[in-house]
Amino acid sequence: MSSQSLLYLVIGVAVLGLLIYRQLRVRLVRGNQRIVLILVVVGLIETVQYLQKLHAGSAAVVALVGSLILAAVFGVARAATVKIWLQDGQAWAKGNLLTAALWIVALAAHLGYDYLIGQHKDIGNLGDATVLLYLAVSLAVQRVIVSARAQRLNPAPVGGMGRGPI
């Protein structure tokens, strides 16, 4: 494992820790997507740098798409574990230990998928370079579903311009 791959992995695990911490707290369901946007931008930069450095071809693109589909599946699964309720006319959400466990399993699945596809000589360590993009897609899918569930509970617009994570 190269030092750059190790750095990507350490950053990914740190971000995962932050995501789990935030998901286990009671929070307003809001439309603020700042953290998703930051993760997407940084994740895309890391991914593009990796793909350009290796001059990766269609195998890397197919592997990346497969990884992002896996991220979306875990986002759907985690969204189902989030408790949503109305209080004082606002939608609130809180994840549980299953939510946290699914985050950990999602990262393990991403790295396992990387190991399996890494047998292809052109795309080794793709998972390390794409970990932030993977987490961003998974979080975005989860947020969309949680927001839709909250909207069904409370037909008033969810979020708006407020601050706060989901």
pLDDT of residue 95: 97
Task: Say whether 85 sits in a helix, a strand or coil.
Answer: strand
Query: Torsion angle of alpha carbons 126, 123, 73, 109, nearest 10°?
Result: -70
| Residue 133 lies in domain | 3-153
Per-residue pLDDT, 9: 85
Is residue 158, in this structure, part of any structural domain at all? no
Q: Count of domains in the chain? A: 1
Helix, strand, or coil (residue 165): coil
Flag whether 26 is in a domain. Answer: yes
- Rounded to whole angstroms, the Cα distance separating 64 from 97 reads 29
**pLDDT of residue 154 exceeding 70:** no
Cα dihedral value 105, 112, 57, 16, nearest 10: 30
Mean pLDDT across 152-160: 65
* 8-62 pLDDT per residue, tens: 889 999 999 999 999 999 999 986 788 999 999 999 998 888 888 876 677 788 8
Residue 65's Cβ-count burial label (10 Å; 0-12, 13-18, 19+) is exposed
Which positions ≥6 away from 58 have C-beta within 8 Å? Answer: none
**Residue 163, domain member (yes or no):** no
- With respect to residue 166, please indicate whether it lies within any of the assigned structural domains: no
pLDDT at 166 over 50: no
Centre a 10 Å sphere on the Cβ of residue 138 and count the other Cβ atoms it contains: 28
Tens of pLDDT, residue by residue over 77-133, are 999 999 999 998 899 999 999 999 999 999 999 989 888 887 766 677 788 888 999
Least reliable range by pLDDT among 5-9, 47-51, 151-155: 151-155
Please give the model's pTM, rounded to 2 decimal places: 0.86
Q: Is residue 164 part of a domain?
A: no
Looking at residue 80, its pLDDT comes to 97
Domain annotation covers residue 56: yes
pLDDT recorded at residue 162? 43
